[in-house]
Structure 1
Amino acid sequence: MKKRRFSLSDFDICDFKLIGIHSQQEPHKLAYLINSVLRTSFKRMKNDLDLTVSGKSISFPIFDYFNKEWDTKSYLICNKVNTEQEFVAVNNLFETEDLVTSEFLLEDYKRVDYLLKIDDELDIFNPELIIKKLIKMHQISMVYIIGSHAIKHPEHLILD
C-alpha cells in the first residue's frame, strides 16, 4: 500500500483573521480590558500553547472566546514570553545569575506583544471593526491587521 504524506499546503490553515496588538499589559489584564471594550468573554484556556522554540519548551498563554451570533471562535495569544535561565557568572564560579530572554510565537513579528486570531472560514468578518475599538484604549499603543498568508509558520497558530 502506498503511503500518502501530507504537508501544510494540503490544508487551508489560513481561514482566519489575525490582528497584532502592542501592549505592555499582563495577559489577564489585557483580556479583561478587551472583554470590557468589545463585550466579549475571553477566558484563559486550561492548556497553554506549548511549542519547542530554539530547543526550549515554551508555553504561550492563550485565551479563547466563542461568539454564538457569528459562530466564530477567537483567541488572544501572547506572542512574546520571557524565560529565565541560570548561568554561572564569569567573575565568580560560585554565584549564578538569571538571564531573561524573550521567545516569540511568530519570530517575524517580534514587536507584536499579542495576537488576536479570529477563525473566519466564511470570510465574512471585518477586523477593522475590532481595530477601531481597540485603538481607542490607552493601554494599547498599536493595533493592525497581519496578513495570514504572509506568516512563515502558520502551523504555530493551529489551536484546535
Structure 2
Amino acid sequence: MKTLTLDCDYDCDFDLFGIVSSSRDHKLAWTLNQALRLRLIKQQDLILDLLTRGRLVISNYLHATETATLRLLRNRSVDPSPLQKHFLAPDIKEYDYLIQVQNGTGSLDPDTLLERLAALPAVQYVCRFDPNNLKFKENLLF
C-alpha cells in the first residue's frame, strides 16, 4: 500500500528574536516593560500536544496594540516533558526566550528592537532569526 504525506509550507510573517537570559520569565517581562515602554501581560500558558510524543507547556506574555503584536515566549517547556526535545524551537535551543513581533514599526522596528534588547543588562545575548529558515517553524504559529 502506498503511503502519502502532506507537506505544508507555511509563510511566517513575523520577526523572531532569540534571547539568552538567566532571568525568570516574569522578571524579564517586567524589564522589557520598563525599558521598551511595553505592557507585556501574562497569558494562559500555551499547550502544544504533539500526538503520542507528549506535550509542551510554554510560558507566554503578550503586548498588543491596534497595529502590532509582541509575544515573549519561554523556549523550554514549563512542565517536565518526556520529549527528547522539550523546546518550542528545538533548532535554536541555546536561547532561553523567544520574542515574536508582528507588524513591528516605530520602537518595535526589528533593527531598533535588536539594539534596545542588546543594551539591557538582563539580556546576555540577542539574535534575530528568519523564522522561515527554522525546521520547527510550525511550533511558532498560533
**Could you say which TM-score interval applies, normalised by the shorter chain?**
0.7 to 0.9
Q: What displacement does 1:84 show?
A: 4.2
List aligned pairs for 1:1-160, cutoff 5 A.
8-9=8-9, 12=11, 14-45=12-43, 47-52=44-49, 55-68=53-66, 71-81=67-77, 83-84=79-80, 103-120=86-103, 126-159=109-142
Percent identity (aligned): 25
Kindly provide the amino acid, as one letter, of the partner of residue 29 in structure 1. K
113-122 vs 24-33, greater mean Cα deviation: 113-122
Instruction: Write out the 4+ residue segments of structure 1 that deviate beyond 3 Å after TM superposition.
Output: 82-85
Which blocks of at least 5 consecutive residues in structure 2 are unaligned? 1-5
- RMSD over equivalenced CA pairs, Å: 2.7
Contact 1:83 1:102 (8 Å CA) reproduced: no
Q: Distance in 1 between matches of 2:104 and 2:32?
A: 23
Q: Distance in 2 between matches of 1:150 and 1:135?
A: 23
TM-score, normalised with respect to structure 2: 0.81
Query: How big is each residue's C-alpha offset from its partner over 1:26-84, in whole Å with a ceiling of 9 and x where there is no partner?
Result: 11110000011110001011x2111235822221000111133xx01111100013544
Secondary structure of the residue aligned to 1:117 is: strand
Which blocks of at least 5 consecutive residues in structure 1 are unaligned? 1-5, 86-100
TM-score, normalised with respect to structure 1: 0.73
The structure in which a higher percent of residues are strand is 1
Query: How big is each residue's C-alpha offset from its partner over 1:100-137, in whole Å with a ceiling of 9 and x where there is no partner?
Result: x9721111011111000011399xx6311111111111
55-64 vs 107-116, greater mean Cα deviation: 55-64
The structure in which a higher percent of residues are helix is 2
TM-aligned CA distance change 1:121 to 1:155, over 3 Å: farther
Kindly provide the amino acid, as one letter, of the partner of residue 129 in structure 1. T
Q: Distance in 1 between matches of 2:57 and 2:20?
A: 20
**2:3 counterpart residue number:** none
